């Protein structure tokens, strides 16, 4: 009888232990599942957050590079705007292409003090091609050839006033040690927001070349800069301002969107996107002449 009671007790203990173990396993499985599910959810949330941050950063970059102008006094592409063009920003007696940095700073200060907005090339292109409005007092600053003093003298002044500008560089002269911008200087300025664009490979007189020769130098300079800077190069200034019918065909075939001459005047879409005028700024010009060219669209027309 006693042995029978002991046997029953052992059996009951066994079943109780088995039940307890089963309950433990179920709870543990649920907890593990919850943790795994939570990890999946958290991982998904983290991925979505990361993706959102990347998109936000990209949007901020786009806003910074391609501003949208609204409100205030705006200008549309039925109107003209001045595209200033300089060369060297370093005084040399008797050389009107070499402007003292003090004079350049005085002119930039005038732009700032009088409420001018300096445009990037993309903004200028969107204005001409797609009628994207710009502030009425807009101006484009360009520098031809790519002298090293553009980095040493002009660049600090442009940064001081927070201005945009474009440098048209002779690609065959880069890194040759002859007073022309280096690759590292070009990358630094491009990273800051200065547009680096094409001025052909060897400062070629395009109208003296065959169509195929023109196409070659236009493509080669474009491809070189795109590899160097990791961006699309869409704009060019013709060396000496020289061009012909083949030039326009070759520029289009090479993939450029705008091209500039040295014809005197404010730029207007009606003159053609590949034959745009500019406003020459010389070391011989006094401040009053700078103001006249900047503010008077008809400055180049004789009375």
Q: What is the pLDDT of residues 72-90, one digit of tens each?
A: 789 999 999 999 999 999 9
pLDDT at 97: 97
DSSP-assigned letter for residue 266: -
Q: What is the pLDDT of residues 198-256, one digit of tens each?
A: 999 999 999 999 999 999 999 999 999 999 999 999 999 999 999 999 999 999 999 99
Residue 104 has pLDDT above 70, yes or no: yes
Q: How many Å is the maximal CA-CA distance in the chain?
A: 136
∠ CA 250-251-255, rounded to 5°? 110
8-state DSSP, 120: P
Phi first, then psi: give them for residue 139, nearest 5 degrees.
-150, 150
Q: Do residues 87 and 97 make contact, with C-beta atoms less than 8 angstroms apart?
A: yes
57, 101, 242, 249 from 274: Cα distances, Å: 34, 31, 12, 9
| Contacts (Cβ under 8 Å, ≥6 apart) of 4 | none
CATH architecture of 74-295: Alpha-Beta Barrel (3.20)
Domain boundaries, the chain: 1-65, 74-295
Quote the tokens at residue 194: 């200065």
């Amino acid at each position: 009888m006693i042995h029978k009671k002991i046997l029953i007790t052992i059996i009951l203990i066994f079943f109780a232990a088995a039940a307890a173990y089963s309950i433990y396993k179920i709870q543990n499985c649920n907890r593990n599942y919850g943790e795994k599910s939570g990890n999946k959810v958290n991982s998904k949330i983290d991925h979505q957050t990361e993706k959102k941050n990347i998109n936000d950063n990209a949007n901020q970059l786009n806003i910074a590079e391609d501003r949208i102008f609204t409100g205030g006094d705006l200008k549309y592409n039925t109107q003209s705007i001045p595209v200033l063009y300089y060369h060297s920003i370093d005084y040399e007696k008797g050389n009107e292409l070499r402007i003292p940095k003090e004079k350049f700073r005085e002119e930039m200060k005038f732009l700032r003090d009088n409420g001018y907005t300096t445009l990037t090339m993309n903004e200028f292109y969107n204005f001409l091609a797609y009628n994207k409005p710009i502030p009425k007092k807009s101006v484009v600053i360009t520098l031809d050839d790519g002298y090293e003093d553009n980095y040493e003298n002009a660049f600090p002044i442009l940064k001081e006033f927070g201005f945009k500008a474009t440098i048209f560089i002779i690609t065959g002269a880069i890194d040759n040690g002859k007073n022309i911008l280096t690759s590292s200087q070009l990358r630094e300025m491009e990273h800051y927001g200065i547009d680096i664009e094409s001025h052909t490979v060897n400062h070629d007189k395009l109208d003296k070349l065959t169509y195929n020769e023109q196409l070659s130098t236009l493509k080669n300079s474009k491809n070189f800069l795109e590899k160097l800077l990791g961006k699309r190069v869409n704009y060019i200034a013709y060396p000496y301002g020289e061009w012909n019918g083949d030039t326009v065909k070759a520029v289009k075939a090479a993939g450029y969107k705008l091209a500039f001459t040295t014809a005197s005047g404010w730029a207007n879409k009606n003159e053609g996107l590949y034959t745009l005028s500019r406003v020459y700024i010389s070391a011989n010009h006094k401040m009053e002449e700078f103001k006249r060219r900047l503010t008077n669209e008809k400055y180049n027309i004789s009375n």
